[in-house]
Amino acid sequence: MISRRSIMAAAGATAAAGSAEAAASRSKPLPKGFLWGTAISAHQSEGNDTNSDTWLLENVKPTLYKDRSGDACDSYNRFEEDIALNAALGFNCYRFGIEWARIEPSPGIFSNAELDHYARVLESCHRHGQTPVVTFSHFSTPRWFAERGNFAEPDSPDIFARYCTRVTERLGSLMGMATTFNEANIQNLLQVMPQYAGLIPFTRPMIAAGAKATGSPKFTSLLFSDPALTGPNLLEAHRKGYEAIKAARPSLPVGVTLTTQDIQAVGPNSRADELRAKLYGGWIDMAKSHADFVGVQTYTRIRVDAKGPIDPPKGAEMTDAGYEFYPAALGNTIRWAHQAIGKPIYVTENGIATDDDTRRIAFIDEALKGVRACIDEGIPVHSYMYWSLLDNFEWTSGYGKHFGLVGVDLNTFKRTPKPSARYLGKRARMNLL
């Protein structure tokens, strides 16, 4: 029997195809080699990441996590299906994370079985014509690393570099590109973005519960630790990690991804420059000296007046993630990264949380216009990767926020592409912005 939902889905897919054709009519082809893809992370999609600090924090009381990650999207077992789907939609690259907590379950003890697992993931990418873009650390860390103080400890950069060396020696020849950290300045964003900054006091009881559960007063996490303590060590960890990866495979392009929200000055005496300096810290200089490229990861804008961040304009459309629908932010942050850092630019994340897929298509269309304008201005932009391929586990928001191009039934794990997946995939197949 044909259901109303299937009829609506078909209609949506037809409309998406038509809008892709319309977009193509006003676009110009991109240079061969432009990467079109999607992104996922290990903890958010694989499931049962039981040896990580994040898994622990999901299960203590009190916790800020609305859901437990549990099986997530079961991508640990279904990676072949996900990569094949990514290729079938029309994409030529797949950005994913390898899970440190799986690979190094105890200090200095590496799992050959888990390294072999990620080798199979990488080999699948190549079988399906996908350039694998690998993230070495996407927020979660091994529980033992968190128990000893995470990146607040002086020797943490050396421990991270040891991990990078071991992984690259085994997997580096299969990687297409790599980044050390996902959104290396994420802690700074939590300090400057109002809806996140307000949560900081509520993280302390959760971290205290984690310390109690582990019996370690030093327990902390990457996401919720004090950037004054961890910031310098994260910079050094990237530097040493970059050097370790390059030593093991000199030809592998290694970059850093940053959270690059569009900071806009409003009115006289705006504190926008002050906020921008706080958001990026030392990462601009680090990217200049120890990165082959910079990954731009943009979702919205932050408006700043003389007193600091202010609310979106009255009547502004908001996404389900609680910030302003503002796809033009991407073009602006690309321009900023080009001017401030001067390295090749890859859009490694851009997307929207919404249950209205027509708004996702509209967001993507406007964001791509910004990318096209930047390329026309001579800025070296080499990719567009949408976050995310799947509706997955969105950290403290749990499963209630849907960024994915593909829906996932959390009981059966069935993947269902949305019209937006067909829309962006067709743009990718035509290689048109």
Per-residue pLDDT tens for 267-315? 999 999 999 999 999 999 999 999 999 999 999 999 999 999 999 999 9
236 contact partners, CB below 8 Å, separation of at least 6: 157
Tokens of 213: 């559960």
The type of residue at 95 is: R
Residues of the chain whose pLDDT is less than 70?
A: 1-27
Tell me whether residue 20 is in a domain.
no
pLDDT of the residue at 190: 87
Tell me whether residue 5 is in a domain.
no
pLDDT of the residue at 25: 52
Question: In this structure, how many other beta carbons lie within 10 angstroms of the beta carbon of residue 114?
Answer: 17
CA-CA distances (angstroms) from residue 34 to 55, 93, 301, 321?
36, 9, 26, 29
Please report which helix (H) or strand (E) contains residue 37, including its range. Answer: strand 35-39
Tell me whether residue 26 is in a domain.
no
Tell me whether residue 21 is in a domain.
no
Q: Model confidence over 26-42: pLDDT tens digits?
A: 667 787 899 999 999 99
Tell me whether residue 397 is in a domain.
yes
Q: Give how many domains the chain has, as a whole number.
A: 1
CA-to-CA distance for 317 and 282, rounded, in angstroms? Answer: 33
pLDDT of the residue at 77: 98
Structural domain harbouring 37:
31-428
Long-range contacts of 101-106 (CB under 8 A, 24+ apart): 101/49, 101/51, 101/52, 101/53, 101/140, 101/141, 101/142, 101/143, 102/42, 102/49, 102/51, 103/163, 103/166, 103/167, 104/142, 104/163, 104/166, 105/51, 105/142, 105/144, 106/144
Cα 333 from chain centroid? 16
As a whole-number percent, the residues of the chain with pLDDT over 70 amount to 94
Give the CATH number of the domain where residue 40 resides. 3.20.20.80
pLDDT of the residue at 22: 63
Whether 285 and 247 have beta carbons less than 8 Å apart is answered as no
Tokens of 131: 């350039």
Tell me whether residue 381 is in a domain.
yes
Question: In this structure, how many other beta carbons lie within 10 angstroms of the beta carbon of residue 170?
Answer: 17
pLDDT of the residue at 280: 97
pLDDT of the residue at 32: 82
Tell me whether residue 167 is in a domain.
yes
Burial of 215: CB neighbours in 10 Å, binned 0-12, 13-18, 19+:
exposed
**Whole-model pTM?**
0.94
Q: Which residue has the tokens 């403290």?
A: 396
pLDDT of the residue at 29: 77
CA-to-CA distance for 45 and 54, rounded, in angstroms? Answer: 13
Tell me whether residue 8 is in a domain.
no
